[in-house]
Structure 1
Amino acid sequence: MGYKKKQLLGFGLILLFLVVLLTGIVMMLNNIKSNLTEIVEDRYYKVSKVAEIRQLFSNSDREILFAANEANKSERAGSLDIINGNHSKLDNEIATLSSVANTVKGKKLLKELETNYGSYSVTEADIIQKIESGKGQANLQSLMSDQRDKRTKVITTMDSFKKYQESLMNRALKSSKQTYDQIIRFIILAVLISIVVIAITVIWMIRSTSKNLQSITNVIKNIDYNDLSEIPRIQFQSNDEIGDIAYSFNEMAGSLEAYNQKEKEFTAKISEQNWIQTRLADIATMYQRIIDLEVLGQRFISRLAPMVEASLGVIYLKRGEGENTKFVKLASFAEEGKEAGRTNFMLGEGLVGQCALEKRSQIINNVPDDYSLIKTGLGETLPKSIFIAPVIFEDEVVAMVELASLTPFTEFQETFLGKVLETLGITINSVRGRMEIERLLKESQAQTEELQVQSEELQSQSEEMQAQSEELQTQSEELRMINEQLEERNRDTELKSKELQRAKINLEAQAEELKQSSKYKSEFLANMSHELRTPLNSILILSEMLSDQGDSSLTSEQQEFARVIHSSGQDLLSLINDILDLSKVEVGKLDVVFDEMNVSELPELLKRNFDHVAHKKGISFKVTKDKNVPDIFFTDQQRFQQILKNLLSNAFKFTEKGTVQVTIKRAEEELVAQWINTKGASSWLEINVTDTGIGISPEKQKIIFEAFQQGDGATMRKYGGTGLGLSICREFAKLLGGWIIVDSEEGEGSKFTLFIPSLPEGMKGAGDVSIAASQVAAAEVQEIAPPIEKEETVELSSGDILDEPEGDQLFKNKTVLIVDDDNRNIFALSNALKQEGMQVIAAENGLECLEVLQNGHSIDAILMDIMMPEMDGYETMRRIRMNSMYDNLPIIALTAKAMKGDKEKCLQAGASDYISKPLKLDQLLSVMRVWLTN
């Protein structure tokens, strides 16, 4: 029998017994209710009616006696009215009482009452008649006596009826009490029986289910909740609900075991992914600061093989192209002897060459017997699995990797190897590019040094020939006298002349090689400038837009990030410009413009640029100018200010506390004349930059003016920098006809002194301004890049920069065509110009630009890139200017090439103006405002 049926049966019996019990109790209660109703509603009602009838009857009888008395004659009429009224009431009451009588005896007594009251009523009527007539007093007394007898009968009858009703009330009350006692006894008995029945039922139900529940409880207690892989099952057969519970428990146990298994698998996958990401980060860290392919290959294979539990590993690097393509062993891991691996493979040769040809990886688990053995201190054995995979960069195989392991490679190891090889191709290409650049630089330096040596040898030979020629002239008389000696010496002279001619030819060839090398260097710097300025242009524009938008959705921290990016980009641009300036100085192609400079404004300029730096570092900054310093000074103001900024930047950088001071005074010509010829200079300035910083040791003062040189390694690590600042200062000072000297003690501070001449006629009238190297102790410390805003001179061919009016409406609804093959530049410029209210059309090369113009678009200005595929900016501008419709169309050339002559070439091709990348938004908008206004 099921647990549900047992419960239904047990509780059904209990419910049935309770129903029977309640039914008996209800019946007894109804009996008590009936008795009480009879007592209250019937017996008590009749008794009360009898009492009312007797009260009325007594009142009538008393009024008759009152009326019969002669003394009350005056009030007799009122008594008679009361008697008549009571008579009517008594008739009604007796009739009502007769209608509710429900017993034989009661009806009999009421019938007797009606008879006696009727006889009494007749006598009462006679008495009233006698009283009203006032006659027959003797008969009245007889009637009154008869009335008393009849009244006694009526009262006796009423008392009998009342007593009868009261006896019935007592009998009903006694019956109710007996019924109540029976109910109490019945309830006690029923409760006892119910307790017995319920106890028997509950014991029967508990005994039938407790055993099965105990079995389930024991199984649940035996579960190991720390290991749900094997959960015990409930073993018994039962068709009731307990059996269903056991079946459901067994099903739940199976589900938990399956879930536990899936959880373990998922945890294992997560662990594998974490393992892969950790190893990838380790490999990526290892790539840093590697500039040699052999070092890269050895470190890579040595790091990779242990990660995937490989016992042997080889990496092959691609050499050659086309049919001559082969893969040469670059590095190996755990290799012993020549038999451990071949030195090279041709494309398509063997499994390595075939995988390279097909650009796919392969895993071999059936290793051939002739494969390299894995050797240990205890023996040697064949590997169990081989992994061969290509390293691909831009859909080209650049290397091959082969690994051998004593255990088969797992799936997650294969995934890891695939991700590692994706990054290796990029790294190989990057290292190869750096090696090529380093090779070109070394080759250029070697050629320059070789030409210098050959030039010195040629100069020595030329001086020797000149001395011999003078000796021949002084001995001409002797040569005439000794013909044989003369002829011999003539032959010697002729031979030496031929040697001199050959040396001259060699010198011309070497000069041509030097010229070619300089050309290569210029092209290299131009290309480097272009490739760096192009992405830097987008970085500076976008970061400046983000940092300057006060109402943007960026947080203050994100805006600070943008400002840091913009500042770093400006520092990188300054470094590029420094390298180009230094290169221009070395080849003599840096333009120097001598013009008037107001020296009186110099202190204020320096204070404005460096006061906040001094305040930030908590040091004192002073600028003093002697009264005898002329206000007007002729020099190149831009180069002159750059020298001072570099010197002050170094002073602030290396000074942690104390003072930085600038003293501007007129140099004494007697002092200057000790070192150089002062011809052509109207006056000289002596500018001292003094600091209380770390100072420079005497042995380091001789090298710090060289390019890329610093005081020592510790200085470089602590303060940073590239070592170009003072080198540029020295070269700029030479260009301006001056020089720099240094006076410093380590730990005491430094003093840099700049001597600059005022040259109204420029360098042409300066005479000999070369500095005697033996008389000048040149020294230099590297420049710094403090977080200050540098003041830069912006050159605009169309005039000065215009101030942007508030709410500038000039740009509203203007259409600008941007021609650039770099989508980053298009994106940055488009967003910047759209914020000014302009409409932007983009073209990726010159042909697309011409198509836009031919389609009839109304263009207000064109921003033209120069270096583009298919048709460059020069040719595009020439073709636009060939159409007379576009004679007045503003074309602003934007180019990353910053070498000498680029601006003139752009203007000759038809450009209205020229801006070099990376450009500044303020500069671009100012130039556009000039041309759109015109």
Structure 2
Amino acid sequence: MSIIHDSGANLLRLINEILDLSKVEAGKMELVREPLRVADFARRMERNFRHMADEKGLAFTIDVAPDAPPVIVTDDGKLEQITNNLLGNAFKFTASGSVTVAFTACADLAGGGLAIEVTDSGIGIPPHKLDAIFEAFEQVDASTRRQYGGTGLGLAISRRLAMLLGGDVTVRSTEGAGSTFRLILPVAADAEGQAAAREASAPKPRTAVPAAPPIAGTPERPAYTARTQPFLADDRSLIASGDKVVLIVEDDAAFCRSLMGIVRRKGYRVVAAGDGETGLAFARTYNPTGILLDVMLPGMDGWQVIEALKKDPATRHIPVHFVSALEEAPRAREAGAVGFLTKPVSQADLNGAMERLMHFAADRRRQVLVVDDDPTARFSVRKLVASASIEIHEAESAEDALAFLGQHEVDCIVLDLGLPGMSGFQFVEELAARGSIVPVVIYSARDLTPEESLRLRAYTDSIVIKGARSPERLLDEVSLFLHSVRHAPDAIPAEPDGDLAGRRLLLVDDDMRNIFALSKVLRGKGINVILASDGTKALAQLADHPDTEIVLMDIMMPVMDGYEAMGEIRKNPAFAKLPIIALTAKAMTGDREKCIAAGASDYLSKPIDVPKLLSMIRVWLARS
């Protein structure tokens, strides 16, 4: 399930392409260059795309040539974004035949380089379009009802990212016979990076990659398993009933010893794990009070560890604080972490991380701060959210809220944007500047412009527009945040999403990656999912399955787009009140109104926030 989630999340993230393009063109795209093992990257590529090849019946091979550099120093995330675009296009435009990937040495760059060639046997590209496809919003067929969909941004972003990494993307193609896209990258951007690459290429005493299907040209590795011997001398044999235990998951022995010293000086027992699998096993065995977790771990990485922890009713209540060399605090917040520190860190930073862990581990009522200048609105939120386990605090301005937060810890903030003095936008920016990771739910009556939405989504994805359906949505959003870090194990049912089990949903999307990712998530909640790849097929599915209870409808599709499909559905009296949630990658002014006018019941922009989608599904199923 973690492979499915990782693959779907990585591919869905590509939909947010306009923001990436603007960052690159404005020179605001930041790079994190680190040594990357080519064989590991190839194995990950195989894992992420094998299901697409199997679904389309295509041959899919990856070959790592003996002369390919074993390690390059680059930005792993940006490289993966480029290759995801190239491979996604290869599978999209290939109906039969094969897709191949070749990793070879590249002599075109000073100091040596790596070439990655993605070759398909698809439709090919006309000669006069070979240059144009790398321009923004350009496609081989740009008509509205193009057969293959897409935004025309993927290749433009890929080439710009490649250049940012010191390389380039080129293409050669024969119309009707297929295409080859060639990505070249330097081994390292500078002498220091080249030295790091050489050091990382040296043999390591242990393997760090889970078993995966073998890739031509690379040696097979054994599965990575949890350690049976202690990583470092810790306190596991000294733990007595009533002791508070902190689990540290960190593969850097020296840094782990430093963390262990701080934990012991605070009076807690400490258990140490040097890899993700062992850390997860220890979390289940020792039920720690809190967990300090690194991201870049051998085997299962930190993101996979926290995902597994939050899925398990026995461990999801345990607060997790990241301490990592990567700067990914927003992703940590979305994953359910209570904090994130970027290495190198000071003693004061580590002490603060420990205090935050203990704050969330304490057995106490959850604290929610409502920031709204309208006393009636504050009273409504209090009445909606307050319970025996939740205490509500109020502030009528951003300044009052900041003063309160300077003296008190809270678990969630409900924020109106239209405040006197400092606005809601300035408030969340000030929170971020202070290093706060407190979840914020925007609860506002105003419709946001795309620019305002992007500005807020740098800090939160939970935005609820006040209206007839908003109280249920607000309650879901706040509950999700409090639930992610606060519920004790016995408060969580074995099937927390059991209210969705057995419900019947039609998912309409032409992108197989979206269908794969979303259908797996929805089926994991017990929902019976019916699939359709365009509007025409959606109408046929509804005719065959008239008991369908809700529809998720993509907009930009071939044959019949989402607007027309919703209109056709509404013409049938039997489906006049069928809930339809429109899903679209577009975020332009008027899109929401256009979807509602076409027949949608509600609207959600991509990339899909799964908890928010589940919240919307619950609301509409309850009302239907």
User: Smaller-chain TM-score range?
Assistant: 0.3 to 0.5
Q: Which has the larger radius of gyration?
A: 1
Greater share of helix residues, 1 or 2? 1
TM-score with structure 2 setting the length: 0.39
